[in-house]
Structure formats: C-alpha cells, structure tokens
Amino acid sequence: MIRFCRGHWQLLLITALLYIFWNTPVAAPVWMLVVFFHEGAHGLATILTGGIIEELVLDPRQGGSLTSRGGNFFAIASAGYLGSLLIGVVYFALALRTDWDRLLLAFCGGISLVIAALYVRDSFSVAFAVVTGLVLIGIAWKLPATISDLVLRIIGLASILYVPYDIFSDTFRQSGGSDAAMLAAEFGGSERFWGGLWLIISLIWIGLCFRFVLGPDSNLHLARPGPGRRS
C-alpha cells in the first residue's frame, strides 16, 4: 500500500481535490466539461448511426441535453454515460502512456470549437464551448508539455470518477428523466436495470483501465522520455 501511494501520489491527490472541490466553483469547468463529453457522446452516436444533431445545450447547474433526429436510439441513449467514460479512459490512458499530450489537448479544444460552431445555439453553451476550446488549444500551444499532460490527467480522471456516480445518482437515488428511463420506456425492463447494467460495465472498464495503464509509477516527472510510448 505504501509503495502504491508513493508511485501514484499525484493521482491520489488529484482525486482528493476533485472530491473536495467538486460542488464548488473551483471545479465547475471540469464537471461542465464532463457534461459536455456526455452530450457529445450522444451526438457522436447519433452521427455514427445515421442521425442528425439539431442542438446541444449545456446547463450551468451540471446538466445538458441533445436534440436529434433519426439514428439508433439504443446506441444514442447508451452512449451518454458509456461514451463519456470511454473518452475519459482514452484521455487518461494516453496522458499516462504516451507523449501525445499537446496534440491530444489541442484536438480536444478543436472539437469543442467545431461543436460550438455546428450544434450549439444558446449563449451559455456557446461561451463554454468556445472558451474551453481556446483555453485547451492555448495550453497545448504555449505551455510546457507537462502542463498538457497534467490537464489531460485531470480531465480523464474526472470523467472516470464521475460517470459511475452519475449513473447511480440518476437511476437509483432519483428516478425518471434519465437516459436509462428512456431506454426502459423504449425497450422494456426498468430504469434501474439499465442503470445497473451501465454501472457494472463502467466499473469493469475502470478496473481494466487502472490495471493496465497505471503501472508501478504514474507520477509526473520533469525529465520526459522521447516520443512514443512510455515505459
């Protein structure tokens, strides 16, 4: 246990800080970005299954919605939680195991600007998407690669930690209106059945991610290896 804490103290500290400040303005940009991932994953599933996105809306009270036409409803409804988790896992894994931090952060910022231009209409959502995109691109362009790495770790870890909590909160602590409720109304079963299934899948993915990505030491160090995969 001591060896684990020593090898991963930075991630443990980030986790503790996210937990402490999650419901405060300090962490607001992070959790809004996780919500953005959730709605963006719905949108990606819509496009990939032949549907059309009409509008993406973000709510400053930690919510959001996507209006779309067509596409595969099962894939679209399932993509919100599981898709945003997959995005978090990919960002987290690439931040820890590669030196593509700047490229990935700039890509994330660019996607945010594209979504703002194509699918966002209301003033808050436009402001958040544009500012987020410009900030992420600015960090990738102007600041050291280590900062991009740290930002990706925070984003990825926040999504990984928040998705299971969000599933449990939306489908077990309160009922009605969740993606799971819509899936239950369309395909049968209960809201808790679909929420429980997504929760199990998410925990398996998170366990596999931590098992194969962390390694003996995940801490950031000033000395960086060359391009490619980290040892």
Measured at the CA of 37, the angle between CA 33 and CA 39, to 5 degrees, comes to 115
Taking the C-alpha atoms of residue 86 and residue 110, their distance in angstroms, rounded to an integer, is 19
Separation CA 166–CA 195 (nearest Å): 10
Q: Which residue has the tokens 């993509």?
A: 79
Reading the block at residue 11, the tokens are 């991630």
Task: Look at residue 222 in the predicted model and tell me its pLDDT.
Answer: 66
Instruction: Please tell me the pTM assigned to this model.
Output: 0.89
Identify each DSSP E strand in 83-217 by its residue range: none
95-139 pLDDT, tens per residue?
999 999 999 999 999 999 999 999 998 999 999 999 999 999 999
Q: State the pLDDT confidence band at 215, using cuts at 50, 70 and 90.
A: confident
Name, in order, each residue with C-beta under 8 angstroms of 204's C-beta and a sequence gap of 6 or more.
Answer: none
pLDDT band at 60 (very low <50, low <70, confident <90, very high): confident
